[in-house]
Structure 1
């Protein structure tokens, strides 16, 4: 009879932050390929828990808002995370290292406006724009490169309501199929960047935690395997 292994010190547990929402469903197979299998409660839609054990007592998952993944990892509360390249570009944390493009969560960040406005509008003639977005930094950068003055109104959701209710005539938001835009009478008029999900790592943890580098390599192999299988 083998002796029981001593319990893992919680300070030695590597925490991976994963996003709620659209990326999560695509991330689960990648986690499994990387050898990270969450406890059953992780899949329980009625669970209010935010931290979950995995099959490896040295690894735990936390489930947070997509925009918060980068913050948790940058400040060392989590050592790794899965986050869109849009979020990385918006916050540009120097503490983050993004070694692996996971090849999931593909979409684009675009400028959109009401279809009726787009019929006679030419983005090349813009000199000043009023835009509702949850990406004020990226939006201002994009328009500054074009020599356009941008007035950004920060919203955290329901972006499509801004033109309908007169808050701002244009929005900058993520677009995948374009269905949500169409259902709200909006159309894309200018792309800003292509987006995909990345594995991010806290730079200090990469150097100081022995378990982090093998996890990065496991995710790299998982992403490559998934790409080959596609």
Structure 2
């Protein structure tokens, strides 16, 4: 019977962008709301600030992810193009280079040479890209996917504290936003840990701690400026 293993490495690209987007959406929007509320802002001004933060943040996340991941993709393409030229100019040297890589991984010289020969006959550029440069189809940079994942999850994350503002009594607004946002962050950490196959406790504790710190500092700034204004 064929044994099929299920790995989660292929999720790293979009999972990183999605978790970053959702986490930033919750933390930045909740912090913004708490800062304005602590400074004495009205419910209307708090809501306007939160919506503006959602739109600006989602666009910023999309642009930032697209630019940064595009730079990574450009570097990968440049490295592969240079490797393609080296394969055309001196295939014997490239074969020896690949052989040395496999020897370094534990194969004997003869077997490493045969493996390099067969892999280069099948897909020389793919073999060098994967084993020499560390570039594979699974982990390749995807700018559009990263941008959409970050923007979408940021908007979803930012909408959660905004919804809390709509239903929470004004007298309990700060407590409701802070408490619900910490709960949302904890759930995000659990989901991210489960999806990535990591410890859900560690993932939840990590995002909750940093979210609480960000919200606490922003609320402190709001209190300071609210008092001195």
Asked if Structure 1 and Structure 2 have the same fold, meaning a TM-score greater than 0.5 normalized by the shorter chain, the answer is: no
Structure with the greater alpha carbon radius of gyration: 2
TM-score, normalized by length of structure 1?
A: 0.20
> Counting helix residues as a fraction of each chain, which structure ranks higher?
2
> Counting strand residues as a fraction of each chain, which structure ranks higher?
1
Q: Which has the higher contact order (CA 8 A, sep 6+)?
A: 2
